[in-house]
Amino acid sequence: MREITGYVGKPLLRREDRRLLHGEGQFVGDIVLPKMVHCAFVRSQVPHARIKGVDFAAARRAPGFVTALSGRDIRNVVTPIAGMQVSIPKGWRDRFHYHIDVPAQQILADDKVNYVGEAYAVVVAEDRYKAEDAAELVEPDFEVLEPVVDVDRALKPGSPVLHAEVGSNVISVMSTKKGDGAAALARAKHRIKRRYYHHRYAAMPMECRAVVADYDIRTDSLTVWSSTQVVHWIRKEIGSILGMPEERVRVIAPDVGGGFGGKGHVYPEDVLVPYLARTLRRPIKYVEDRFEHLVNSAHARDNFHDLEIGFDDDGKIVCIVDDFVIDSGAYSPVGATCAANSIAHLLGPYDIQNYEAKGTLVATNKTSNAPYRGAGRPEAAFAMERAIDIAANSIGLDPILMRLRNMVPPERLPFSVGLPYRDGVPITYDSGDYPQALRRAVEELGGLENFRRRQAEGLAAGRYLGIGVGCYVEGTGVGPFEGASVRLDPSGKIMVAVGANNHGQGHETVFAQVAADVWNVPIDQVVVTTADTAAVPMGYGTIASRSTVTAGSAVVHASAKVKDKVLAIAANMLETPTADLEFRDGAVGVKGVPDLKVTLKEIWWASRPGWDHKRPPDMEAGLEANHYYEPPTVTWSYATNAAIVELDPDTGRVTVEKFVAVHDAGILVNPLLADGQVRGGLVQGIGAALYEEIAYDENGQILMGTLADYLLPTADDTPPITVIHQEIPSPSNPLGVKGLGEGGAIAPPCAITNAVSDALRPFKAEFNATPVRWEQVRKVFAEAGVSTPRGRG
Amino acid sequence: MKPPQFDYHAPGSIEEAVTLLGSYGGDAKVLAGGQSLIPVLNFRLARPGVLIDINRIGALSFIREADGGVAIGATTRQRMIEGSDIVGRRAPLLADATRLIGHLPIRTRGTIGGSLSHADPAAEDPAVVTALDATMVALSKRGERRVPASGFFRSLLTTALEPDELLVRIEFPPTPAGTGTAFVEISRRHGDFALAGVAAQVTLAGDRASEVRLAACGAGPGPIRLAAAEKIVRDGGASAASIEAAAAAAAAGVEPTSDVHASAAYRRDLVRAMTRRALERAVARAAGGTR
């Protein structure tokens, strides 16, 4: 174990807990402003229609009505957010064949609606009840169009095309390769091709999205509170679309009840609500309800991977060729990120020399598809990890042993993969021990041999047990940058602000731990601000498992700039060379002389502008610095998840007996919060494997409109989970940290489908699609004529 | 997700409630625990002009022994039923079923009368009253009307209650000696509506099953009495073969539909499994004297 000398590494409770647990959290929904009005969006009930007109006559007569707008009313006034909200660096573009032609979504649909739930009008009224009453009275004149309800239909000649400006339903294609996949496949002793489908589901935060906006006429400025992960992105869009200097737009994410990627980009409401506030000169509130969240906030996954694996008699993988299609829904606001991630992560922790991958994004009349915790990695891991199990079983090799034969051994790290990451830099797995993670996970389940014995004994008694693992690597802490601002306050407190956005992770605690160690002050001397554009000039946001890596490093670097000045002033005050000084307990003191010191508060007073300061000659006043940390590239987290399941032959019920994750996120700044992050992700991944699903019918109607239909795993349904952290430091950043926000959610779907398939090996059943439905499991037993032995039901 | 406008009445007595129902009739909805009605209102799936909140009528909340059985007031919370000694002794099947309803906060608000009046086909209470031939007692200005369970559930979410009638109490018949009960269901998650559930009550007299009561939920437009399965066990006894045959008959006798959670065929298959398990458990309890 590493010795913990400071705050980094300590399992501190969250600073945020007090207010959150006392019901004193301040969410967007809690904000009440004088003269505030409320809006309700009028959302399409059909998946595809041309808008011929929108009639507000009846709505205008409703009690409490304030105003209403259709897409046409704002067409040239509130222009769309860019179709793709992220940029792609040259290093990536050079190595990929691609075309990306992602359409922009109108702020309110004006020509066509493209999915059930797309807003084509907004109604403002004195309260939300009245707004909904008036919204009901809005009469659309729609010419209903044939919907494109799946990718097969979308790709067929003669299919309706969603976006005429693109000209086809293919809105992006990208491909890359290393070695020669086709030739290697031709030479491979064994090859197995399957279609692996990772279904459609969504981030389902406890707090839905919400926006409150307030316009100040005196300063011509907007203050916007949004339940978001990316305040700076929202500021940028509001500034450019509404024609305001960004400095006059302040975006704040107060307490946010979960994001998971679903709040990781700018939505039309983030721009329209501030526009209405400015137009009406009244504060305005929009709080999305759960139905709206299900139909209009981004969905995720929905990938078909046609993956072929080539391998030899020993189980050594010689090539992977994957051709996958993503059902993007109507728009793709974060563009091709998930596809790029899938391609970059598909090879996982394995050393595979030949690889070809191609991803195609297809538009359909469904809710937009955007990154959700894992963002391209769960689908890639699912295809790869199922393929390995199927391949291993085909040659009578245990799937766990086949993985060990193919993993990159620790002595070969750093390991160059031979592909570019989405930041354009060639992928290098920087640190870790992949085989150890796998071995530890299986040991935690009682060991492989022991399990195989249990499994055989169970089978003899009519019990169906299975073991499954899922292994992955995850690039984390991606750029382009993150900002931090560090300032010494006259009180002597260290004021830290980060561009990262806190939505439950405990950033106020974690960055205080980092800063307290950097400054060697008691942690109570650090004040942290997150998710406020007024606090940091430039920021990026909390997405992509990046905040501890990027914002943490920015805090370290910004602190260093301020500390240099503090040290120089202290040297001047103490008349001692800086080399003889040290930061200790909220002061700068002379090494070896405990009583000779000046406190940070005294140093601030010595630094102030004006007369009688004690700065060295030529030093400017001001103890503050911004730093924009631009990571050289990502750092590589990884994990093995492992599960034991038992299947009930009578009903097909899947019971997860035990679930283990061995995870490496480098140095853990706060092991308690790290554990919670991984565990939360695992539960979401278990939800994806067994419960959560968004389905559409053949007419393009969404079938899940409530949380009684969209099933989230509850505590009752969560199996016993063990999380083990392998803390192998990253060499890539000053803290030695790797990201861990998303990791938990990546591998449960493959671990559980592998375990279910393992339990059903006597019947040669393969589960190559998620979620695992009990009904399908039961079907396997029913066809085999198997039922639960008497008395065990 | 805000309800449309409605007028709200909170009568303090049964008489007052019945009078209000008499004057508003079809334009009124009765609010009890609100576990189904409030979501329906928030989704604007129902637009009653008037809501009559009967939660303040103390006389509607009681559990008492009556004629060897038990009578339960319509607004008695499911949580009270779950913990009631009287129910445990006099109507153990109802106690078994109530434990499976939703989650604790739902049972704390939810009422037996509300569940029966709402008549969700997947709900437990309708299956229990169907199995036990309980009597629903409805009151209106026209007087009291006693409706047997067999005639109470008309179709999906529809009962025999007239617009001016208020369900005031439910009467359960006595449970014979030598009886065992079981309510077995399967749901995707703990606390969800059942994909399929079966209520079983078996009375043993020596080797014979003198009385067998079976009803299913989640397997049709309403609760379904599994008469053919009952007869097989009554005639053939509680042997494994008889139970297996009864389970098959139960599956053949239901009319499930498909939805996002399960296909009709799967639900039918689950009725078979649930019937078998419910019968096995009820018989074991009857034999062991533990109900």
* Same-domain status, B158 and B246: no
Topology alike, domains A301-478+632-784 and A482-629: yes
Domain assignment present for B193: yes
- pLDDT, tens digit, 9 for 90 and up, residues A207-240: 999 999 999 999 999 999 999 999 999 999 999 9
SS3 of residue A583 by DSSP:
strand
CA distances from A421 to A94, A96, A551, B77 (A): 12, 11, 20, 59
Task: Identify residue B66 by its one-letter amino acid code.
Answer: A
Handedness of CA A53, A57, A59, A64 (dihedral sign): positive
- pLDDT, tens digit, 9 for 90 and up, residues B61-106: 999 999 999 999 999 999 999 999 999 999 999 999 999 999 999 9
CA angle A576, A580, A583 (to 5 degrees): 105
CB–CB contacts below 8 A, A to B: 62
Which CATH number do you get for residue B283?
3.30.390.50
For domain A301-478+632-784, the question of CATH label 3.30.365.10 is answered with: yes
Cα A95 to chain centroid, rounded: 25
- pLDDT, tens digit, 9 for 90 and up, residues A433-466: 999 999 999 999 999 999 999 999 999 999 999 9
**Interface touch B189/A716, C-beta < 8 Å:** yes
* Same-domain status, B63 and B48: no
Task: Identify residue A657 by its one-letter amino acid code.
Answer: E
* Same-domain status, B132 and B202: no
Phi, psi angles (nearest 5°) of residue A660:
-130, 140
Closest CA to A223 of A77, A33, A501, A27: A33
Nearest CA in chain A to B239: A790
* Same-domain status, B149 and B184: no
* Same-domain status, B48 and B63: no
Closest CA to B116 of B131, B127, B132: B127
Task: Identify residue A564 by its one-letter amino acid code.
Answer: D
The distance of B177 to chain A (nearest Cα, Å) reads: 24
Phi, psi angles (nearest 5°) of residue A407:
-70, 145
SS3 of residue A735 by DSSP:
coil
Domain assignment present for B1: no
- pLDDT, tens digit, 9 for 90 and up, residues B180-200: 999 999 999 999 999 999 999
CA angle A784, A788, A793 (to 5 degrees): 155
Residue B225's domain comprises: 179-288
User: Rounded distance, CA B273 to CA A756, Å?
Assistant: 21
Sheet holding A581-584, edge to edge: A581-584, A587-590, A597-599
Write down the mean pLDDT value for chain A: 96
User: Rounded distance, CA A372 to CA A394, Å?
Assistant: 33
> What is the percent of chain B with per-residue pLDDT over 70, rounded to a whole number?
99
What pLDDT shows up at residue A792?
Answer: 67
Q: Which residue has the tokens 């042993």?
A: A401
**Interface touch B269/A653, C-beta < 8 Å:** no
SS3 of residue B177 by DSSP:
coil
- Contact between A323 and A310 (Cβ < 8 Å): no
* Same-domain status, B188 and B282: yes
**Interface touch B39/A129, C-beta < 8 Å:** no
The distance of A791 to chain B (nearest Cα, Å) reads: 8
What pLDDT shows up at residue A212?
Answer: 98
* Same-domain status, B73 and B163: yes
Is residue A392 over pLDDT 80? yes
Closest CA to B28 of B158, B156, B166, B222: B166
With beta carbons under 8 A apart, name residues in chain A contacting B269. 778, 782
Average pLDDT over residues B266-287: 97
The distance of B80 to chain A (nearest Cα, Å) reads: 23
User: Rounded distance, CA A503 to CA A256, Å?
Assistant: 5
B45 touches chain A (CB under 8 A): no
Residue window 213-252, chain B: list those with CB within 8 Å of chain A: 240
* Same-domain status, B200 and B163: no
| CB burial string A545-572: b at 16+ within 10 A, e below | bbbbbbbbbbbbbbbeebbebbbbbbbb
What pLDDT shows up at residue A343?
Answer: 97
What pLDDT shows up at residue A789?
Answer: 79
* Same-domain status, B281 and B206: yes
Q: How many CA atoms lie within 13 A of B204 on its CB side?
A: 21
> What is the percent of chain A with per-residue pLDDT over 90, rounded to a whole number?
96
The CATH class of the A26-33+205-296 domain is alpha beta
Structurally, chain B folds into a number of domains equal to 3
Burial class (CB in 10 A: 0-12, 13-18, 19+), A538: middle
Task: Identify residue A518 by its one-letter amino acid code.
Answer: V
Average pLDDT over residues A622-647: 97
- pLDDT, tens digit, 9 for 90 and up, residues A408-425: 999 999 999 999 999 999
Cα A2 to chain centroid, rounded: 30
- Say which DSSP state B122 is in: T
What pLDDT shows up at residue A2?
Answer: 56
Domain boundary among B172, B207, B234: B172
Closest CA to A669 of A523, A784, A475: A523
Question: Which residues 6+ apart lie within 8 Å of A677 measured at CB?
Answer: A505, A740, A741, A744
- Contact between A295 and A702 (Cβ < 8 Å): yes
- pLDDT, tens digit, 9 for 90 and up, residues A598-607: 999 999 999 9
CA distances from A47 to A43, A44, A151, A333 (A): 10, 7, 15, 19
- Contact between A525 and A513 (Cβ < 8 Å): no
Q: Could you please report the per-residue DSSP string of A116-184? A: TT-EEEEEEESSHHHHHHHHHT-EEEEEE-----SHHHHHSTT---S-TTTSSSEEEEEEEEES-HHHH
Domain assignment present for B194: yes
What pLDDT shows up at residue B290?
Answer: 64
* Same-domain status, B187 and B273: yes
Phi, psi angles (nearest 5°) of residue A38:
-130, 150
Domain boundary among B157, B172, B187: B172
Which of A136, A648, A651, A709 should we substitute to test contact with B (largest number of B Cβ atoms within 10 Å)?
A651
Which of A774, A776, A779 should we substitute to test contact with B (largest number of B Cβ atoms within 10 Å)?
A774
Average pLDDT over residues B34-55: 96
Which of B38, B186, B263 should we substitute to test contact with A (largest number of A Cβ atoms within 10 Å)?
B186
Which CATH number do you get for residue B44?
3.30.43.10
Is residue A321 over pLDDT 50? yes
**Interface touch A711/B276, C-beta < 8 Å:** no
- What architecture does CATH give domain A482-629? 2-Layer Sandwich (3.30)
* Same-domain status, B280 and B192: yes
Provide the token pair at B265: 């065929």
Q: What is the CA radius of gyration of chain B?
A: 19
Is residue A87 over pLDDT 90? no
Question: Which residues 6+ apart lie within 8 Å of A413 measured at CB?
Answer: A429, A430, A431, A432
Alpha helices per DSSP H over A723-773: 748-759
Residues of A with CB under 8 A from a CB of B: 128-129, 132-133, 136, 289-291, 650-651, 653, 691, 693, 695, 703-706, 708-709, 711, 713-714, 716-717, 774-775, 778, 782, 787-788, 790-791, 793
What pLDDT shows up at residue A83?
Answer: 86
With beta carbons under 8 A apart, name residues in chain A contacting B276. 650, 793
Nearest CA in chain B to A40: B1
* Same-domain status, B159 and B226: no
Provide the token pair at A526: 């650090």
Q: Could you please report the per-residue DSSP string of A242-254? A: HT--GGGEEEE--
- pLDDT, tens digit, 9 for 90 and up, residues B247-257: 999 999 999 99
Domain boundary among B138, B172, B206: B172
- pLDDT, tens digit, 9 for 90 and up, residues A106-142: 999 999 999 999 999 999 999 999 999 999 999 999 9
With beta carbons under 8 A apart, name residues in chain B contacting A128. 2
Q: What are the structural domain ranges in chain A?
A: 26-33+205-296, 301-478+632-784, 482-629
- pLDDT, tens digit, 9 for 90 and up, residues A142-185: 999 999 999 999 999 999 999 999 999 999 999 999 999 889 99
Phi, psi angles (nearest 5°) of residue A126:
-70, -25
